Structure 1
Amino acid sequence: MNWKNHDSYIELYPPKEFDFKQCLDFLARNVQEMLHKIKDGYLIKLLKIDEEMILCKIEAEHTVIKVEFLSGKPSYEGREAIAKYIWEWFDLDQNLEEFYNIASEDKLLSPLVKRYYGLRIVGMPDLFESLVWAIIGQQINLNFAYTLKKRFVKAFGESIIFENETYWVFPSYDKIAQIEVEELRNHQFTTRKAEYIIGIAKAMTTNEISKEALLNQHDFEKIKQSLMVLRGVGAWSADYVLMKCFHDNSSYPVGDVGLQNAFKSNLGLDRKPTAEEMYEYAKAWKGWEAYATFYLWRSLSDKTT
């Protein structure tokens, strides 16, 4: 991580294959999003660092990401934690040169990497958030998933008001572990999804599962199996979390309807591809299936807005 500390802000120095605007376009894909706001080419996000709420204004000029603190002045350790969060959020440790070399020779990916050059997998550094979002998104369309997420955040998240606007952080697993299934049912969650989410929150509260312990396994397949032990987490959800939270470049959620639609649309097919066909295409992307998936997902936003 390459960053520098200043009095009221920090600077991060991303690798060359990074385009902040491309990442903003992805983050702007749904107006119901509660966890950040985009204004005039910059991003405002509330982060909770060591129990302190820090409102950050994030913008990029040339090769520098500037993070200004709008509320409070975090400690040096707090600033480092914020830098680490943003570095991970935008997957800035990743060297994309190999992916772009592979994609530029690929019929399906070549036009996408030209169109979205500099886009990185915009992740979810928080394990609980990524698991909850994966469960919320099961078997419903993206817009209704955002509706449920908005209700979840407003009902159980924390917030601050700055210049007459409210900013939110995602609910903590500690809080969700203490609620009843009926409280989520009241927000149109199915009984099963409510049980899954509360069950995961309880497992994290008792340290039955944690991001640190999973990372210590040093093996994505082992992490996937550990995630799938959790009730409500199947192969698709585990692959999604591996991609968004653990930076597993080989994660490939072939069961994802959006990915299937992206294949169909970009290849001009009259039907969705089979899993076998998708695996066959992915042979050329070995080791970069997650980035191929993310660029294909990104193409769907262009076709629906």
Structure 2
Amino acid sequence: MNQGIQAEMLIPLPELFDMKANVDYLTRDKNECMYTVEHHTITKVLAIGQERYVIQISHKDDSQLLVQCLDARPTDSLHRNEIASYIREWFDLERNIQPFYEMAEADPLLNKTLNKCYGLRIMGIPDLFEALCWGVIGQQINLAFAYSLKKQFVEQFGEKIEWDGQTHWVFPTYERIAQLTPSDLAGIKMTTKKSEYIINLAQLMASGELTKEQLKSMSMQEAEHTLVSIRGIGPWTANYVLMRCLRFPTAFPIADVGLMNAIKTLQEMDRKPTKEEILTLALPWKNWESYATFYLWRVLY
């Protein structure tokens, strides 16, 4: 082992970042299985190539995140760079959101979200297969049930890492899921159709027909068209993935029930808003639709 490589890294933080706001989002459901949070410290396993690193992320001060590799030192500088890159992408640290705040402060709807959400970033899902699975799993069910299904899926097909008396999970790989049939997923309480969709997505990724790099090289309209052409992915799932994984700031899951309910609550409406009403409200949000949606979701929980 190269003793010159440290087991700690510091990642600079941008302005308009608040650790508590982001951790509060991460702890919104007790069935989350991809990380644990205790005293605002996040513990997660990262798969970098064939290596598995148990990392902890904490808030060193207002300007830095402290990242500690608990079980092994990444002796390869490339692995250290990939760990840091994953965290920057997960927390959306590279984006300057000052223009969003300037717009939101003047917007009568978004302005109502800023006190609760100040410093919140769109917490992403950097792995494309995980983002696609989460989008499919969450179709037409409530958030609590979606988390329960994801937990079942991960615990049946993911990789388990034991560290310091706790179990941590690596999300199932598309290579493994591509080899399954819907009957292999029968023990998970989701529909056969969703099982078929997930296996098909895994097979497309295993064959190289669908990659994150390919989608990120496209315009948002091209990427959305590519995704909705896949069986089981409609506009809502496509925009969810465009927003949380591919990081298109104009992604807008306009038919999202949570978005509708947030607007209904803030506008004190006795019914859900129509698509046309949402589009009218969203006119000032141009180029920031994804952040507007994410902040409005936080109204509900």
Do Structure 1 and Structure 2 share a fold, with TM-score over 0.5? yes
TM-score normalized by the length of structure 1: 0.95
CA distance in 2, matches of 1:183, 1:297: 34
Matches within 5 A, 1:56-95: 56-60=55-59, 61-74=61-74, 75-95=76-96
**Could you say which residue in structure 1 is the equivalent of 2:186?**
185
**1-side partners of 2:107 and 2:287: how far apart?**
15
Aligned-partner Cα distance in 2 for 1:245–1:72: 27
The secondary structure found in structure 1 opposite 2:57 is strand
Aligned to 1:212: 213
Q: Counterpart of 1:297 in structure 2: which amino acid?
A: W
Structure-1 separation of matches of 2:259 and 2:185:
29
Superposed CA offset, 1:262-283 (max 9, x none): 1111111111000000000000
Q: Distance in 2 between matches of 1:70 and 1:156?
A: 24
State the partner residue of 1:50. Answer: 49
Equivalent residue runs for 1:95-114 within 5 Å: 95-114=96-115
Task: Supply the distance in 2 between the matched residues of 1:215 and 1:284 (Cα, whole angstroms).
Answer: 25
Query: What whole-Å deviation, never above 9, does each CA across 1:178-204 have from its counterpart, x for those lacking one?
Result: 111012122112110000000000000
Residue of structure 1 equivalent to 2:259 = 259
Q: Deviations over 1:160-189 (max 9, x none)?
A: 111110000110000100111012122112
CA–CA distance in 2 between the matches of 1:141 and 1:185? 20
Q: Residue 162 of structure 1 corresponds to which residue in structure 2? A: 163
Q: Distance in 1 between matches of 2:20 and 2:50?
A: 30
Who is 2:176 aligned against?
175
Unmatched segments (≥5 aa) in structure 1: none
Letter matched to residue 294 of structure 1: F
Normalising by structure 2, report the TM-score.
0.96
Helix, strand or coil: the match of 2:44? strand
Q: What is the CA-CA distance between 1:6 and the residue it aligns to?
A: 6.2
Q: 1:48-107: per-residue Cα shift (whole Å, max 9, x none)?
A: 111111000000122100100001111211110010000000111111110000000111
Structure 1 moving runs of 4+ over 4 Å: none
Which secondary structure state, in structure 1, belongs to the residue aligned with residue 299 of structure 2?
A: helix
- Counterpart CA distance in 2 for 1:298 and 1:6 is 39
Residue type matched to 2:284 in 1?
Answer: A
Equivalent position of 1:229 in the other structure: 229
Partner of 1:231: helix, strand, or coil?
A: coil
CA distance in 1, matches of 2:117, 2:188: 36
What is the deviation of 1:125?
0.6
In the TM superposition, what whole-angstrom CA distance separates every residue of 1:205-226 from its partner, at most 9, and x where no partner exists?
A: 0001000111222x11101111
Tell me, what secondary structure is at the counterpart of 1:73?
A: coil
CA distance in 1, matches of 2:105, 2:115: 8
Partner of 1:10: 9
Deviation digits for residues 105-133 of structure 1 (CA, Å, limit 9, x no counterpart)? 11111121232111000010111011000
Number of aligned residues:
296
Looking at structure 1, the residues matched to 44 and 284 of structure 2 have their Cα atoms a distance apart, in angstroms, of 37
Does the 8 Å contact 2:55/2:67 carry over to 1? Answer: yes
**Match runs of 1:145-156 below 5 Å:** 145-156=146-157
C-alpha RMSD of matched pairs (Å): 1.1
Q: What percent of counterpart residues are identical?
A: 43
Tell me, yes or no, if the aligned pair for 2:7 and 2:72 is still in contact at 8 Å: no
Partner of 2:244: 244
Q: Which amino acid aligns with 2:115?
A: K
**CA deviation profile, 1:229-251 (whole Å, cap 9, x unmatched):** 21101111000000001111111
Q: CA distance change for structure 1 residues 120 and 6 in 2, over 3 Å: closer, same or farther?
A: farther
Matched AA of 2:281 = Y
